[in-house]
Amino acid sequence: MRQSEEARAHIIRLLSDLIGEEIMVMLTTRQINDVSCNPDGQVFIKIKNERTKLYLKIDWEVSAQIVSYVADLMGRSADDTSAIVEAALPFLNARFVGGMPPHTDKPWWHIRSHARESFTLQSYLDTGRCDRHCMNAINGAIELRKSVAIIGVTGSGKTGFLDALGGHPARRDERTIVIEEIPEVKMQGVDNKVLMTADPRRIWHGKNEAQRFRLVAEEMNRLVRAALLADPDCIMMGEVRGGEFLELLKAIYSGHGSAMFTGHASHPADFLHRAEMMLAEAVADSRAYRNMLCTAIQTIVLVKRDTERGSGNIVGVYQPIGYNEAQGSYVVSTLAGKSHLKL
C-alpha cells in the first residue's frame, strides 16, 4: 500500500512539474481530453478532439519514470517481457497507457480523461446529439429488454452513452451488474447496482502481451459467471475485445436478463464481423455462431465523435437480420437515423 501511495505521489508531482499545474487542472476537470508524450519527448494535448502541440519536450528518462510508477500502482514492473502498461488513474480521473522498449526505441505514454459527469438520455435529446426517431428506437429496445451493442471508434463517446442507458427510467428498479476491465461507468442515480472490475493482480501475471490478453479474457469470463449467480436483470460490460465475449453471448442467448455493452467498429455489419473474430479466440469454428450473434445482439447503436463539442452523437439504430452466405456478409436493417448503407 505504501509503495502505491508513493508511486501515486511521484506521478502527480512529475506530471505537474513537466506539463504545468494549469494543464493538470484542465486534465482532471476534463477541459482537456488527452495528454500524450511520444518517444521523441514531444507533448500533445487534445481539446474537443483537436490536437495541439506543446512547446516542450520531456526527457526519455523522465517518461520511463512515469511509466514505471504507473506499473508500480498495478503491482508489477515495466520490463521487456511486458512493456505495455495500462491502468486506471482515479486520482486524475483518467486512464493511462504507456510503453517501454523493445516496443519502441524510447518510452511513450498517453493519458485520457474520463467524463466527470454522467449524461442522461434527456441530455442527448436536449443538446441535439440524438434525434427523436433514434431515441424512440432506443427507448423501445430498453423497454422490451433487448440487448444493446453501442459501437464507434476510439473516443467517440461509447462509454458515456452506455452510462446514460444504465440510468434509463425502465432500468431504475432493476438489478444491474457492470463489468469492466478498467472502471469508467458511474451509474449515478441507480441504487441496485454492482460495479465489478478486473483484478489487475490476475491480469498482470502474464509474462508477455499474448499471455496478458488471455488472462484478461479469463478474468472477464470469471466476472460474467459471477454476475450470472447474482440474479441480474441486466449485465453491462465495457468494451468487448476478445474471447470473453463468448461468455456474455451465451448469457444473453440463454435468457439471463438483458445486456448492454460497447464495441469498436464504425459500421454495424463490421461489428458483427468483428464479433465473429472475437469468438474465434475462444471456439474452433466461430462461423457456427453467426445465427446466435444475430439473435443475441438485438440492437446496435452507432456513436460518432462530435469534433465541435468533443462528445458522442448518435448516428443511427440498427437491427441484425442474419448472415448472407452468398455475399459473405451480415445483413442489417436501419431502425432509425442514418441508413447503414450510406455510412
All domains of the chain, ordered by start, with CATH?
Answer: 2-113 (3.30.450.90), 121-342 (3.40.50.300)
Q: What is the pLDDT of residue 1?
A: 46
Of residues 223 and 18, more confidence is placed in 223
Residues 84-113 have a mean pLDDT of: 83
DSSP string, 239-306: ---STTHHHHHHHHHTTSSEEEEEEE-SSHHHHHHHHHHHHTTTSS-GGGGHHHHHHH--EEEEEEEE
Asked if residue 198 has pLDDT above 80, the reply is: no
Summary mean pLDDT of the chain: 82
Instruction: Locate 256 and state its grid cell.
Output: 439471463
Residues 9-37 have a mean pLDDT of: 75
Asked if residue 80 has pLDDT above 60, the reply is: no
Residues 270-293 have a mean pLDDT of: 88
Asked if residue 27 has pLDDT above 90, the reply is: no
List C-alpha distances in Å: 20 to 17, 56, 61, 67, 188: 6, 11, 18, 18, 32
Q: What is the pLDDT of residue 141?
A: 94
Instruction: Identify the weakest region by mean pLDDT among 119-123, 222-226, 239-243.
Output: 239-243
Of residues 50 and 264, more confidence is placed in 264
Asked if residue 195 has pLDDT above 80, the reply is: yes
| Ramachandran angles phi, psi of 15, nearest 5° | -65, -40
The CA distance from 86 to 95, in Å, is: 8
Q: What is the pLDDT of residue 51?
A: 84
Q: What is the pLDDT of residue 38?
A: 94
Of residues 313 and 22, more confidence is placed in 313
Number of DSSP helices (H) and strands (E) in the chain, helices first: 11, 14
The reply to whether the predicted model has a pTM over 0.85 is: no
Residues 12-19 have a mean pLDDT of: 74
Q: What is the pLDDT of residue 318?
A: 96
Identify whether the C-beta of residue 224 lies closer than 8 Å to the C-beta of residue 194.
no
Residues 150-156 have a mean pLDDT of: 89
Identify whether the C-beta of residue 337 lies closer than 8 Å to the C-beta of residue 314.
yes
Interacting residues of 13 by C-beta distance below 8 A, sequence separation 6+? none
Tell me the per-residue pLDDT of 204-229, one tens digit each, with 9 for 90 and over: 555 556 666 677 778 888 888 888 88
Percent of the chain with pLDDT over 70: 85
Instruction: Locate 141 and state its grid cell.
Output: 429496445
Of residues 203 and 276, more confidence is placed in 276
Q: What is the pLDDT of residue 203?
A: 62
Beta-sheet strands, E only, within 100-147: 108-113
Q: What is the pLDDT of residue 310?
A: 53
**Local structure of 7: helix, strand or coil:** helix
The CA distance from 112 to 34, in Å, is: 4
Alpha helices in 1-79 (DSSP H): 2-19, 21-28, 60-73
Question: Among candidates 280, 284, 289, 296, which has minimal Cα distance to 323?
Answer: 289
Asked if residue 314 has pLDDT above 90, the reply is: yes
